[in-house]
């Protein structure tokens, strides 16, 4: 009998993968990996491992989810050790639940290996704690994109009023819509917002603004996916850390990473 491992590869920095996830990669006969997986991790695979790209962009899918599901079932049924390698955590907007369900339907053995999600890691690398006693005691993770485009079925009224910090995944294309929904449902337009591009990777950069201004800031700076959006007072803590360390606000990634290691 084969076995499938639905594995979180972490947010981008290859050093943030877990020990267990790395073990899975090293013993895999087949690896099905996503676009946001750091390809340096694939060097850990066996020489004879079959490696298949299953990448998806917001508007373009290299491989449909149904085909990925079929491949998981096919290779696992052949008695192989299969690793489904996904960016971040497989159960946080990663469709890992659908893949686990498909394997279970076919009576196949599988295991889920959690990973560090970008909604926590990317802000941390930018000097933004997702919670802080003085700035925010609660947070929510939200998708900024759905199969129909704009995420209109989210309870924006509750989200705007009940949670201190909001981490929005896959939201760059709908940033104006997302900001306006939060304002329309009671969030102050001056609420701080950070957008972190290429979170935890060497290319990481962060831009900040408010709900009123962040769309124009992102457009002006040419920020693109993948990017994490953080809404809430915790964003102000980034400036506090940078100031204490004598680092310019508009700094590069090397300085940003100093925020978490000094």
- Residue extents of the structural domains in the chain: 3-113, 118-261
Taking domain 3-113, whether its CATH number is 3.40.190.10 is answered by no
Residue 10 has pLDDT above 70, yes or no: yes
pLDDT band at 153 (very low <50, low <70, confident <90, very high): confident
Instruction: Tell me whether residue 56 is one of the annotated catalytic residues.
Output: yes
Taking domain 118-261, whether its CATH number is 3.30.950.10 is answered by yes
> Which pLDDT value is given to residue 150?
75
Selecting among 20, 23, 56, 258, the annotated active-site residue is: 56
Instruction: Tell me whether residue 1 is one of the annotated catalytic residues.
Output: no
Instruction: Tell me whether residue 187 is one of the annotated catalytic residues.
Output: no
Selecting among 13, 29, 34, 89, the annotated active-site residue is: 34
**Pairwise CA distance, residues 10 & 86, whole Å:** 8
SS3 for 80?
A: coil
Exposed, middle or buried, 173 (CB in 10 Å: 0-12/13-18/19+)?
A: middle
pLDDT band at 176 (very low <50, low <70, confident <90, very high): very high
Q: What is the residue whose two structure tokens read 């003085």?
A: 134
pLDDT band at 244 (very low <50, low <70, confident <90, very high): confident
> Which pLDDT value is given to residue 258?
46
Selecting among 29, 89, 170, 187, the annotated active-site residue is: 170
Residue 247: count other Cβ atoms within 10 Å of its Cβ: 18
pTM of the predicted structure, to 2 decimals = 0.90
């Amino acid at each position: 009998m084969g076995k499938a491992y639905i594995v979180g590869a972490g947010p981008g920095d290859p050093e943030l993968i877990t020990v267990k996830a790395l073990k899975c990669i090293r013993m895999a006969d087949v690896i099905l990996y996503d676009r946001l997986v750091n390809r340096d991790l694939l060097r850990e695979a066996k020489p004879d491992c079959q490696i298949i790209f299953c990448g998806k962009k917001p508007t373009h899918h290299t491989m449909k989810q149904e085909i990925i599901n079929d491949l998981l079932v096919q290779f696992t049924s052949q008695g192989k050790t299969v690793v489904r390698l996904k960016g971040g955590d497989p159960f946080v907007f990663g469709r890992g639940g659908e893949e686990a369900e498909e394997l279970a339907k076919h009576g196949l053995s599988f295991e889920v290996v959690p990973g560090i999600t970008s909604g926590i890691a990317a802000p941390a690398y930018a000097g933004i704690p997702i919670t802080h006693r003085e700035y925010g005691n609660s947070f929510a993770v939200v998708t900024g994109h759905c199969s129909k485009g704009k995420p209109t079925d989210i309870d924006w009224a509750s989200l705007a009023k009940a949670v201190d910090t909001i981490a929005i995944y896959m939201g760059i294309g709908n940033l104006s819509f997302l900001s306006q929904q939060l304002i329309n449902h009671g969030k102050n337009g001056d609420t701080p917002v950070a957008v972190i591009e290429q979170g935890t990777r060497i290319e990481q950069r962060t831009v900040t603004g408010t709900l009123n201004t962040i769309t124009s800031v992102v457009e002006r700076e040419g920020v693109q996916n993948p990017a994490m959006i953080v809404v809430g007072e915790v964003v102000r803590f980034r400036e506090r850390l940078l100031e204490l360390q004598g680092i310019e606000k508009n700094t590069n990634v090397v300085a940003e990473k100093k925020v978490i290691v000094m």
